[in-house]
Chains A and B, each alone.
Chain A
C-alpha cells in the first residue's frame, strides 16, 4: 500500500492529441506492479491539483493516460509537453474482471480511455470482443484509427456512432449496444456518461447479463479514508471504480445524482 501511494515524479515522454480537447500523455512506467484494466492513477500537477485518471495504455515500460480538458487541472494537463514532469501514484482501485467467451465493450466520450487498455487485454486472452464507441461528432472521436486498425485485422468487431452522424452510425452508443446485446454475451463492460451506464444497466438487468462499469466519484485521498468519493454506500477509490451489476443496482444513484467537492449532493436529471 505504501508503495502504491508514493508520489513518483515522472517525465512525460510523448503526447498525442486525440481530438479537439483530448490528449493522451505517455510516461515511463512508474509502477512496481502490473495494473489491471480499469484501475486508475492519481496524477499530481504540482501547484494545481491531483486528479484521478484511468489507465488507458500500459506496456512494460510505458504508462499512458488520456485526459479531456474540462476544468483547470485537466486543461493544464492537456497543455503539457514531453519533458514536463508530473507526480503519479497507483495503480489504485478495483479493475475489470476478464471473462473468457464473448464480450461487449461500450464506451462514450472520454470514457473510452480505460476501455482501450481493457480491449488489448481481452484480445490477448482470446476473448471475442465487440466494441461500441459513441461520440458527439467526428471532431470528438478518440482512438478512431487505432480501433479501425484492430477491426481491419479482425481482432475486434467495431461499431462507431456519432450523435450527428458525422462519422459512423448516426446514433448513440446505447442505441447500437441495445441492438447487439443478446444472451450470447458473457460480459458487458461500460464506461462513459452516467446516463449511458444507467441505461445499459437496465438492459443487462432485463436480459440477466453480467455487466461491469467504471464510475466516477469526487476523489480526494484515493485510499479509502476520507469518504469524499462515496456513491451509495461504496467508495469509488477503494471498492471501485469498477462495480458489477448488483453493486451498481445497490448504489442506485448512477446517472441521477453526484457529489461535489464539499460532499453536497447535486441532482443530474
Chain B
C-alpha cells in the first residue's frame, strides 16, 4: 500500500517536472513567443483594446492586426462571408481605418502581453513603403507582415504573383524599418516558392504561408454569386492540406522561418505544420467555431504531443518530416 502511494507520488512528481520542462516558446525572426500560436491577420484585429485582450489570453504567442493601408477603406458591402461545412469564404475587401488612424488604435492597446505583428498592404511599391514607414514607428509594433496576397482586392492580389515586385517592396521596406518583416504569400500562383525565395533574398525575415485561396459561391435560389465582391478567399479546414503542401515546399527551398497558416483546427494540425517546416502557426477561421479559447486548447494539445513523443521543445520538431 505504502509502496503504491509512493509510486503514484513519484509518477506525479515526474509528470510535473516533465510538464514544466516542456518548452512551447519559440524564437522566430527575432521575436520571442511564449507559444508558437499566432492570431492570423484579418481576424478580430481591428481594435487596439481587443488585440490587447487577445494577447493576454492563455496560449497566445503573438497577435496580428488586420491589414492596414495608407488610406481608410470601407471594404465591400455585405454579404462578405459565407460559412460552409469545410470552412469560410470571405470577401471583406480589406476594410481598415488607414495607417495614421491605426496608430491611435494601437495607443489603446494597453497591457499588450504578446508581440504585435502589424499587417499592411499597398497598391504599389511606393504605397507599401509609405505605409510601412508610418506603422513601423509605433512602439507597440514588434514586427510587420506585408500582405501581397488578398484574393478579393485586385491590385493587392496580383502583387503576390510577381517575385521581382515582391523583392523590390521587401528591400525598400527593409531599408527604412528596423523591425522584422514577414511576407504573407499567395497560394493562388504556381510561383509561390519563387516569390518566397525572392522575398528571402531581398531581406525578408520570415514568411507567412498561406493567405486564402480565391473562391466563389453561388445562391441556387437566386442564380447569383452570394458575396457582393463576387470572389472571396477560402479558409478553414478545406485549406489545410494546401497550406501544408506550400509550407513543405517552401521549407525545402528557402532558409528563413515560416509561419504556417491555413485551416488549423486542432493541435495535431499545429504539429503537422511544424513538422512540415513552420516555426510558428497562425490561427484564423477556427476562432469563428471555437472562440479565442482555442489558443489554450491547442497549446495544451501541443504540449501533450511533445510529451508523448519524448520531445522537450517545439524547436526539436520544426521540419522534422523532411528526413
Contact = CB atoms under 8 A, between A and B. Distances in A.
A219 B77 CA distance: 10
Interface stretch (B155-163, B217-225, B267-275): B217-225
A47 B75 CA distance: 16
Contacts of B285: 225
A226 B78 contact: no
A261 B219 contact: no
Contact of A2 (B83, B90, B97, B224): B83
A50 B101 CA distance: 27
B285 to A, nearest CB: 7
A9 interface: yes
A262 interface: yes
A56 interface: no
A7 B288 contact: no
Nearest to B284: A225
A84 interface: no
A9 B104 CA distance: 42
Interface string B278-293: 0000001101110100
Contacts of A261: 74-75, 95
Greatest chain B CB density within 10 A among A87, A224, A225, A232 is at: A225
A234 B49 CA distance: 9
Nearest to B84: A2
A227 B53 CA distance: 13
Contacts of A47: 224
Contacts of A225: 43-44, 81, 88, 90, 284-285, 287-288
A44 B50 contact: no
Nearest to A252: B49
B46 A223 contact: no
Contacts of B79: 7, 44, 50, 87
A57 B226 CA distance: 27
Given A1-B289, A49-B228, A226-B81, A262 B72 contact: yes
A220 B288 contact: no
A264 B72 contact: yes
A87 B221 CA distance: 10
B80 interface: yes
Interface in B27-68: 42-47, 49-50, 52-53, 66
Contacts of B139: none
B46 A5 contact: no
Contact of B78 (A42, A234, A263, A265): A42
A224 B50 contact: no
B297 to A, nearest CB: 16
Contact of B81 (A221, A234, A235, A264): A221
Contacts of B208: none
Q: How many of chain B's residues touch chain A, expressed as a range?
A: 35 or more
A50 B80 CA distance: 9
A46 interface: yes
Contacts of B49: 230, 232-233
A263 B106 CA distance: 13
By secondary structure, the B interface counts as loop
Interface in B150-200: none
A15 to B, nearest CB: 21
Contacts of B228: 49
Contacts of B78: 42, 44, 49-51, 219-220
Contacts of A50: 77-79
Contact of A227 (B66, B81, B85): B66
A263 B287 contact: no
Interface string B252-282: 0000000000000000000000000000000
Given A225-B285, A228-B95, A260 B74 contact: yes
Given A2-B83, A233-B49, A263-B66, A224 B226 contact: no
Contacts of A228: 46, 92, 95
A227 B45 contact: yes
B83 A230 contact: no
Contacts of B75: 220, 261-262
Given A225-B287, A263-B97, A6 B52 contact: no
A262 B95 contact: yes
Interface string B88-131: 10101001111001001100000000000000000000000000
A9 B98 CA distance: 36
Nearest to A223: B288
Nearest to A238: B291
Interface string A202-243: 000000000000000001111111111010111100100000
B96 A226 contact: no
A48 interface: yes
Contact of A226 (B52, B73, B90): B90
Interface of B: 42-47, 49-50, 52-53, 66, 72-75, 77-81, 83-85, 88, 90, 92, 95-98, 101, 104-105, 219, 221-222, 224, 226, 228, 284-285, 287-289, 291
Interface of A: 1-2, 5-7, 9, 42, 44, 46-51, 85, 87, 219-228, 230, 232-235, 238, 259-265
10 contacts: A46-B219, A47-B224, A48-B77, A87-B219, A225-B43, A226-B81, A230-B46, A261-B75, A262-B72, A264-B98
Lowest 7 CB-CB distances: which A-B pairs, in order?
A: A50-B78, A227-B44, A261-B74, A5-B83, A264-B97, A262-B72, A9-B221
Given A227-B45, A227-B50, 4 more contacts: A226-B43, A226-B90, A262-B98, A263-B72
